[in-house]
Structure 1
């Protein structure tokens, strides 16, 4: 746990893009797929991260054995906001520790809203990620691209990555999500009761907060019929006191058939 807290504290940082790309000893490379323009003037593009065989990188919540990714878009011009769509990740187990991420390639769709319609967008970013095989190495990738002014054709690679995202509550048939928050020796304990049909196989639940300085333990899960129960401990990496807003908690259930993304929970 101490090792995980140190990694979390050290790895709070940035993002990535192409045309100009940087790699770590040729283990990882990044580029921007220009994608297409939507009717409202926003753009759907993607960052493609390619790793050598046997290497992997991590999901936004990487697990106890992973390094959390971070993004920085501040070098961009004519960009109001950037939204990231995470494809459903895989779960890895190594030396008794669990990590969550992607093997050898990650197509990461980004939804870019310009500040001014009709003006060219320059997308420039820095991404701090972890790349791992036998060892894990933090790596910073820098990429940039100018998007064409034409609308462009819908890219099936990006579309497939968007389609592979976890299902929403309504898509997955989630009836209710409640959670009980109690104190623990070192922080808080969250016990969630997620009323949803089975996602298949051994289900893994991941609990996230909106505070990057709060470490969340690997959730312990079990089924009670139509309810998946998930329990995690929350601790501040600096040992400070903190509060949890139920509406900002995020629960991802990873099953054999599909994954589900649940935003917020009620008291219970």
Structure 2
């Protein structure tokens, strides 16, 4: 059984591990930082959340499954903050205690692009980040981070993480949407063209208020079929726009995302 420890709250300037004594670090966490990054040609600030963990520990992807805790960012202290975009590298499929989760072992580097609220003025990345890290215990951690001054050139670590972000397909899987007692069930048939990417699937709704069950998959006529339940806070059937569904096909070396599905009879 996975156990959960109390919340650890750490406050840090640009580098966390150097400012926190080893005996004050929560179990499993080596360091957490916002990398300085650089300023893009259009004035946006590129940075990244860099998390280093003890060997064997893991943290989670944006939609980790029933047992995971995705990172959450509070940017209230940031300066000149405009639109924030997170670029999630392809996650690992992790099996533990009979549960499938999606996340990252040992380290995570999550690229972040921040547009300036006032064009021409510098962005000052500061965030309070909540994340979960797990081994055979799970530790919810909160860190207060600030990126240092932007570097003059792109950071190759961030560029490498961007290269691992799943590609976006222009195809739309065929899908059926049916009512169930407490919400809606979506069954989708993934295009044959994407099968080379892998055979693990994540299904998401664009609203974080919609809970999505762990998907079930099956082979049908050479194509991968996937089904999941979508449940709103009402606990009742609700109008579900197929354009709000995102499917990600994940393999050990590749991944592809499908944005929206096409309703079929």
SS in 2 for 1:162: helix
SS in 2 for 1:161: helix
Distance 2:131 2:235 in 1: 25
Gaps spanning 5+ residues in structure 2: where?
A: 5-10
Which position in structure 1 is the counterpart of 2:263? 267
**Contact 1:219/1:232 (8 A) holds in 2:** yes
SS in 2 for 1:197: helix
Verify: 1:161 aligned to 2:161, yes or no: yes
**Greater mean deviation of Cα atoms: 188-197 or 152-161:** 188-197
Deviation, 1:178, is 2.4
**Contact 1:17/1:32 (8 A) holds in 2:** no
Change (3 A) 1:199 1:33: farther
Gaps spanning 5+ residues in structure 1: where?
A: 1-6, 8-15
Which position in structure 1 is the counterpart of 2:34? 32
**Greater mean deviation of Cα atoms: 111-120 or 39-48:** 111-120
Distance 1:261 1:18 in 2: 35
Change (3 A) 1:53 1:157: same
Which position in structure 2 is the counterpart of 1:4? none
**Contact 2:198/2:249 (8 A) holds in 1:** no
Which position in structure 2 is the counterpart of 1:48? 50
Distance 2:199 2:105 in 1: 20
Which position in structure 2 is the counterpart of 1:10? none
Verify: 1:229 aligned to 2:231, yes or no: no
Which position in structure 2 is the counterpart of 1:121? 123
SS in 2 for 1:160: helix
Q: What TM-score results when the alignment is normalised by the length of structure 2?
A: 0.85
Distance 1:34 1:146 in 2: 5
Q: What TM-score results when the alignment is normalised by the length of structure 1?
A: 0.84
**Greater mean deviation of Cα atoms: 106-115 or 234-243:** 234-243
Change (3 A) 1:79 1:36: same
Which position in structure 1 is the counterpart of 2:250? 254
Which position in structure 2 is the counterpart of 1:218? 214
Distance 1:18 1:267 in 2: 49
Verify: 1:244 aligned to 2:246, yes or no: no
SS in 2 for 1:168: strand
Aligned length: 248
**Contact 2:184/2:237 (8 A) holds in 1:** no
Which position in structure 2 is the counterpart of 1:19? 14
Name which of 181, 184, 187 aligns with 1:188.
184
Change (3 A) 1:180 1:18: farther
**Contact 1:177/1:265 (8 A) holds in 2:** yes
Distance 1:154 1:66 in 2: 32
Taking only aligned residues, the RMSD between alpha carbons, in angstroms, comes to: 2.4
